[in-house]
């Protein structure tokens, strides 16, 4: 989690430390009704200590981790292709759908999941309006994380296979949420931000997405792994348009705190207040971005640094998630490689990172050399200031921490089944 390799598992002891101040906690303190729907994946822990209700969310409906972290991890086990019949058992409990800290159903019927989340979101918005309170909704859809699924209204409708069907349902879900906001007359009072957390898992080929002209995908520090689109919508406040200013999901906390008048936690933050950029009164205060690999360590520090239009790769390493691409540098077989001099790209002209500006010595420009010196300085300063915190993943695993709707049942874990009344 965070600075440490891998992801939290259903059996993990660790999770998001409770002393960390979340966006939900910041806004709840300002009187917001806070809710989350979808994928949590920041830990469960003993007695569900790390779940959203303990992290500032008044309401939660969702799966506490990825929907591929159950007994069935093969796509053919998931609707609407075929129901999972247990033939791909991985020794894990079925995926639970939680309502706050309680199991609502285990496992949920995936084709009906998005509709459930939308209903939850509608209720949250309506209740907040009745109470005369603002609301904060974190909607973390499982689309389009592998394995793909979609409701029956979208299955085989996109013409783009399972991934297209999944994406089509996500698009419809966003539309339903916007309609719900409009029905309550809150469009001009609601800031909507839409983005994603990483690039496509190209190893899944047509079932994992495509990075287009960007290099590599998930798990790498190339643009295909880290560059994401973002949309901010707030009629009457944000003018229509496109910006190429630097921004990061790390900027959401300070930005929303500034817009709501909430105080920031007394810690060093990686984010910047982007409210002037959103409202059209100024440029982004963010001038640089730092990229860690999937398995960071203090010896190598950040692998890549961007400042303005220039990006330098000091180290590169392939990833299983980026297998099957045409570029062997993306693949898991591509080892950790130090670059001296670093790879330098002008992303304004070459977002695909195809032309290393330092490759041909005779063609290196003074501007490129100056940019490289600045990027080296930024990396040195950032690495020197970084302190790695205690690893939550290093706390290990305990099989008894897996959520089961029938505690103590046998045969475990297959007995952890509670019917889905909405199927």
- What's 308's domain CATH number? 3.30.1120.10
Give every strand in the sheet of 102-105, ordered side by side: 102-105, 97-99, 59-63, 33-39, 135-140
Residue 169 located in a structural domain: yes
Residue 2: burial class (beta carbons within 10 Å; 0-12, 13-18, 19+): middle
Q: Are residues 184 and 44 in the same domain?
A: yes
**What CA–CA distances, in Å, run from 139 to 194, 344, 399?**
9, 37, 29
* pLDDT for the residue 201: 87
Pair (187, 319) in one structural domain: no
Q: Give the model's pLDDT for residue 200.
A: 86
Predicted local distance difference test score (pLDDT) of residue 408:
92
Q: Where are the beta strands (DSSP E) in 54-100?
A: 59-63, 97-99
Pair (122, 167) in one structural domain: yes
pLDDT at 413: 86
Indicate whether 116 belongs to any domain: yes
Does any domain span residue 298? no
**Tokens matching residue 57:** 């969310």
Residue 239 sits in the same domain as residue 378: no
Range of the domain at 37: 23-191+234-246+392-401
Reading the block at residue 302, the tokens are 């950040």
DSSP assigned state of 12: B
The number of distinct structural domains making up the chain is 2
Per DSSP, helices labelled H in 87-211 are 113-130, 161-183
Q: Are residues 64 and 181 in the same domain?
A: yes
Residue 92: per-residue pLDDT = 83
Residue 33 resides in a domain: yes
What per-residue confidence (pLDDT) applies to 422? 59
The reply to whether 51 and 114 lie within a common domain is yes
For tokens 């080892």, name the residue.
335
Give the chain's residues under pLDDT 70.
Answer: 1-6, 72-90, 421-423
> Which pLDDT value is given to residue 86?
46
């Amino acid at each position: 989690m965070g600075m440490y390799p891998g992801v939290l598992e259903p059996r993990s002891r660790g999770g998001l430390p409770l002393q960390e101040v979340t966006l939900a906690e910041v806004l709840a303190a300002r009187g917001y009704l806070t809710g989350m729907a979808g994928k949590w994946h920041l830990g469960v822990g003993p007695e569900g200590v790390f779940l959203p209700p303990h992290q500032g969310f008044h309401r939660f409906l969702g799966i506490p981790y990825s929907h591929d972290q159950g007994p069935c991890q093969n796509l053919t086990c998931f609707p609407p292709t075929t129901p999972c019949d247990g033939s791909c058992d991985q020794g894990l409990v079925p995926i639970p759908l939680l309502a706050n800290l309680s199991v609502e159903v285990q496992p949920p019927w995936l084709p009906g999941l998005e509709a459930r989340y939308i209903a939850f979101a509608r209720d949250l918005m309506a209740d907040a309006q009745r109470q005369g309170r603002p609301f904060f909704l974190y909607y973390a859809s499982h689309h389009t994380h592998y394995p793909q699924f979609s409701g029956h209204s979208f299955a085989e409708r996109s013409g783009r296979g399972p991934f297209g069907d999944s994406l089509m349902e996500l698009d419809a879900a966003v539309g339903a949420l916007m309609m719900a906001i409009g029905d309550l007359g809150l469009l001009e009072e609601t800031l909507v931000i839409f983005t994603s957390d990483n690039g496509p898992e190209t190893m899944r080929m047509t079932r994992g997405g495509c990075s287009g002209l960007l290099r590599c995908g998930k798990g790498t520090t190339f643009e295909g792994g880290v560059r994401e689109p973002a949309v901010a919508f707030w009629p009457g406040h944000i003018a229509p348009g496109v910006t190429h200013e630097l921004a990061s999901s790390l900027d959401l906390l300070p930005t929303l705190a500034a817009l709501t008048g909430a105080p920031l936690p007394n810690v060093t933050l990686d984010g910047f207040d982007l409210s002037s950029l959103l409202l059209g009164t100024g440029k982004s205060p963010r001038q640089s971005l730092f990229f860690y690999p999937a398995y960071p360590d203090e010896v190598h520090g950040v692998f890549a640094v961007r400042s303005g239009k220039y990006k330098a790769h000091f180290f590169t390493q392939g990833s299983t998630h980026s297998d099957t691409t045409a570029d062997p540098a993306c693949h898991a077989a591509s080892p950790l490689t130090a670059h001296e001099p670093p790879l330098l790209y002008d992303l304004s002209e070459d977002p695909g990172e195809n032309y290393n500006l330092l490759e041909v010595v005779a063609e290196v420009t003074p501007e490129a050399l100056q940019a490289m010196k600045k990027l080296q300085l930024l990396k040195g300063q950032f690495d020197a200031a970084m302190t790695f915190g205690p690893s939550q993943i290093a706390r290990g695993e305990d099989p008894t921490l897996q959520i089961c709707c029938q505690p103590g049942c046998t045969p475990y874990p297959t007995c952890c089944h509670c019917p889905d009344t909405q199927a």
